[in-house]
Amino acid sequence: MITNKENLFKLGKKLTDRIPQKLGLEPLTEADPEYWGLCNVLDDEMVEILLAMPQRKPLAFEEIKKLTKWSDEAKLEAKLKEMSELGVLEYNWENADHHKQWLVPLFVPGSAEFLNMKSATMDKYPEVTEFFQNMTRLPLEKVTAMVPPGGAGVGMHVIPVEKAIEHESQSVSLEHLSYWLKKYDYYEIGVCSCRNCESRNGRGSGDLPEHWCIAVGDTAKYCYETGKEGIHNASYEQVMEVLKRAEEEGYVHQITNIDGENKIFAICNCAPGTCYALRTSQLFNTPNMSASAYRAHVDTEKCVACGKCVEICPAGAAKLGQKLCTKNGPVEYPKQPLPDDNHWGPHMWDEDYKKHNQENCHESGTAPCKAACPAHIAVQGYIKMAAEGRYLDALKLIKQDNPFPAVCGSICNRRCEDACTRGSVDAPVAIDEIKKFIAEQELNEKTRYIPPRRTKRLSTEDYEEKIAVIGAGPAGL
């Protein structure tokens, strides 16, 4: 508990990334998160040590002793250990003779996250969750519009799915997760502080916080030694398996972005709607904050409006539009305004971005057959595959949304055919007959497709929890 408020205000000004407060243009008060987020967590001795040490400059024990003027070495060492375990100090061995050195981290990425990587700390000081949430938002309100492509060392950097660019001859090594992992020989997997905070506050997307964030190098050793939640050692192969599972869940790979192009200390597998780093681009409508070095493009001639890309896009960047021309020509849709061409401020933000990112199409843009289907199956997608003779691929696509295509195909009331625009010309496409033909592959053991098992946990053990199925037949199942 802090008794010297003035020292805490000095510390808040020193560590904050909010420009007006950092420059002294606006004073810090007890209503600011830099104060209320730490006033119960720290004590006066901790504040004195943090004030004496420079930010993000590693110091050996003797250097800290000299700066703090503490004569009792045992007491100082115990205090440094306590602060490191709490998360307001970090340490590493990044020097020529590999001696231990401590540093004062940023709030984000840094101490605000570390404080939320231990349940005991969060139970004792519940305010640290909102402290973290505020420190990922408030400092960026005035700067996001000015951030150039690549992030300029601000926030996190999105890395694309490696298998999507592995055949690209011009791909940069920095854009490959394997490149970063092979720079280090020590990895730890642990809890996600964003998921932890959001679940504690009844927000987020319901993702389990465990086993998604990967620390590398000395940061990994620091997290292990200071007992961060669920932290455990992992091999390169195990880390790659976590990354693969994250891709299957639609999570976004991000690496830390504050140490230049030769160093990272963590890889995060971020869930849209939960991750505070992804939020910066979506809330403020500033895509440079989360942009990778690659862009997805649509071949309009090949697109069949199956909708899978817009459903999985973590930023809600893609939307389905109407492909059929009107009497006035092709339908045109508005483009997203960007800060480069507009005056930017709160009037351009999207506070309701989580809801808007789930809107998959414009008012006149979707496949009417898919929209009419109660199971929302990608009708045009599997018809296209069937036409190409790719029956197994078509079956896989159907079973992403409907695990019982043979049963449902037999009792379907063909709403998709009622909505088919071909019916306005002559007769609708025989969608249900095509689906039943594809579903018959299930009746043959050689062509049957059983989807791989997927759980929200990394463990392959069965769930102990029981569920109740409400509804009869395929609807309930």
Structure tokens at 118: 């231990």
Residue written as token pair 């199409």: 361
Evaluate whether 264 touches 317 at the Cβ level (below 8 Å): no
Residue 120 to residues 34, 41, 79, 134, 171: CA-CA distances in angstroms? 21, 12, 19, 21, 43
Per-residue confidence (pLDDT) for residue 244, from 0 to 100: 87
Per-residue confidence (pLDDT) for residue 172, from 0 to 100: 52
How many other CB atoms sit within 10 Å of the CB of residue 364? 12
Per-residue confidence (pLDDT) for residue 167, from 0 to 100: 46
Per-residue pLDDT of the chain (477 residues; tens, 9 = 90+): 788 999 999 999 999 999 999 999 999 999 999 999 999 999 999 999 999 999 999 999 999 999 999 999 999 999 999 999 999 999 999 999 999 999 999 999 999 999 999 999 999 999 999 999 999 999 988 888 888 876 666 767 777 766 665 544 444 555 788 889 999 999 999 999 999 999 998 887 777 788 889 999 999 999 999 999 888 999 999 999 898 888 888 888 888 888 887 889 999 999 888 899 888 888 898 888 877 777 777 887 777 777 778 877 777 777 777 776 777 878 787 788 888 888 999 998 988 888 887 777 776 666 788 888 888 888 988 998 899 999 999 999 999 888 888 888 788 889 999 989 888 889 999 999 999 999 888 888 888 888 887 766 666 567 788 888 887 666 676
Cis status of the peptide bond prior to 105, with omega within 30 of 0: no
Structure tokens at 306: 């199956």
**Residue 367: partners with Cβ closer than 8 Å, 6 or more residues away:** 304, 305, 306, 307, 320, 378, 379, 380
How many Cα atoms are found within 13 Å in the side-chain-facing hemisphere of 42? 30
Per-residue confidence (pLDDT) for residue 169, from 0 to 100: 43
Cα 421 to Cα 427: distance, rounded to the nearest angstrom: 9
Per-residue confidence (pLDDT) for residue 293, from 0 to 100: 73
**Domains in the chain, start-ordered, CATH in brackets?**
5-140 (no CATH), 145-289 (no CATH), 308-443 (1.10.1060)
Per-residue confidence (pLDDT) for residue 216, from 0 to 100: 95
Q: Is 112 exposed, middle or buried (0-12, 13-18, 19+ CB in 10 A)?
A: buried
Tell me if the pTM is above 0.85: no
Cα 203 to Cα 309: distance, rounded to the nearest angstrom: 25
Evaluate whether 127 touches 40 at the Cβ level (below 8 Å): yes
